[in-house]
Amino acid sequence: MSYPPRYQPTFAERYPLAMLAAVVDFLSVVAVGYLAHLWRFGSLELDGRYTTATFIFALLVMLSLLMSGVYHSWRGRGFLQLGGRVCLGWLVAIGTALSIVFLTKVAESYSRLWFMGLVTLGGTVSILLRLVVFLALRQLRSAGRNLKGVLLIDSGGSAARQLNGERSLAENGFRLLTSLHFERSEEWLQRLVDQVDEQGAHEVWLCLPLTAGDAIRSVLYALRHRTVEIRFIPEWGDLPLLNHRISHIAGLYSLDLSCSPMDGPSRWVKRAEDLLIGGAISLLILPICLVIAIAIKLTSPGPVLFKQYRTGINGRKFKVYKFRSMVVHQEARDEVTQAKKQDPRITRIGAFLRRTSLDELPQFFNVMQGRMSIVGPRPHALAHNEYYKDLVESYMQRHKVKPGITGWAQVNGYRGETDTLEKMQKRVEYDLWYIDNWSMWLDLKIIFWTIFKGFIGENAY
């Protein structure tokens, strides 16, 4: 294959590294099969059935890793992403092996301890080998070796500014050769082609707005005789994105701009988290709830619980439960007056409950019902939603997930009264950041912080 004059092929372009990695995986599983036999039986000599099983499992691992995308280029990817694909590949291989054993009814012919040793040690070796290679590549690339040269087409947006100042490009396997500000002219397109040849660029990154479809076509046409890789990095501008990603729907690629992360397995993880943690907390707080209920009943007339409709996931209404902290009163129709400092409606026991957030404890019943989550955006009154949805951009995107008893905004100081538009904007900003970055570990961190600093705050009254 011929390359442009300044083009320098990378190491991966010269040698079939994917094939080499597959062979290494196959051989390492075979070696681990022998070691597992030594651990279980005290001998490295495998009889016929163990030899066959070892080689078949090694082939299954190699094919499973191939299907999970492990042998694709690592350039630009983090190790956690790579490690996740390796784990997925091994799980598929293990599941396939167990299915074969079950269907052929040969389970009694093999030692379970041998198989456990094989998969445990084999999976560990597979991860560690890749970690060593990943760290070695990062060190090599930090020293300026094995990098792909990138020519950046800049339209003056935030993505281009970030890439121009990105220090970790080298660690990810790239180096910025030059940046060309986009112009709509034939002269500029010719200059682009000349720069690709002179700089020896491996890739061209187009940082252009979504409206620049004709510009993208002109660049593709100008570079039609070059084998350089071309990537489109959209300049989103001020678009309020939420969990944006690329999906494959009905045979077409979809650029999802605003989607909930609570989809597929994530939804089940979130629900399991709520049931396990929420169930345990519900049992622990039962005595506290009983004492609070008695105190409310003895100190003021009216019901123990306060019930009010709030907006839940996907905009559906649900009834939220709280311990009553105010005297019974009648609000004007479609109005909800937020509690203020020294609010005369708040009872003496209610002031304590609100200050310590103990009035929120009945919402664990909402969690067990599946209408709320332990962690999520706090549900606002219906009247507040109607008022703020036109004042705060992306306000209603908070309702793409279940509302929570506590949330990212609350542990960062935005709880209690939102008496200014700025406060509500900041609360929504934190809520949307949580939705965009959700993980089980983030939930656990918020729960931990809530215990130590989220229950009591200067805005709680």
- pLDDT, one tens digit per residue, over 111-164 is 889 999 999 999 999 999 989 988 888 888 777 777 888 899 888 777 777 787
d(CA 396, CA 150): 39
Residues 6+ apart with CB under 8 A from 80: none
SS3 content of the chain, % helix, strand, coil (to 5): 55, 15, 35
Quote the pLDDT of residue 337: 58
- Tokens 């510009």 correspond to 215
Instruction: Indicate the pairing of strand 317-323 with strand 174-181.
Output: unpaired
Report the mean per-residue pLDDT for the chain: 83
Phi and psi for 202 in degrees, rounded to 5?
A: -85, -35
State the angle between helix axes of 17-41 and 112-142 in degrees (0 to 180), rounded to the nearest 10: 140
Report the Cα 250 to chain-centroid distance in Å: 24
Residues 352-390: b if buried by 16+ CB within 10 A, e if exposed? ebbbebbbbbbbbbbbeeebbbbbbbbbbbeebbebbee
Based on C-alpha coordinates, what's the Rg of the chain? 30
The two three-digit tokens of residue 321, written as one number: 């439960």
Share of the chain above pLDDT 90, in %: 27
The two three-digit tokens of residue 121, written as one number: 């040690």
Closest CA relative to residue 152, chosen from 131, 166, 136: 166
d(CA 114, CA 39): 8
Quote the pLDDT of residue 251: 67
Distances (CA, A) of 311 to 18, 368, 386, 404, 433: 51, 17, 10, 11, 19
Q: What are the 10-residue block averages of pLDDT along the chain, 461 residues in total?
A: 53 61 91 91 84 92 88 77 88 91 84 91 92 85 81 83 76 84 89 88 86 84 85 74 68 69 78 92 92 89 88 87 81 58 76 84 92 92 84 84 91 75 88 88 91 59 47
Quote the pLDDT of residue 274: 93
Quote the pLDDT of residue 15: 47
Distances (CA, A) of 182 to 175, 212, 223, 316: 20, 11, 15, 46
Quote the pLDDT of residue 288: 92
- Using an 8 Å Cβ cutoff, are 274 and 443 in contact? no
- Using an 8 Å Cβ cutoff, are 146 and 137 in contact? yes
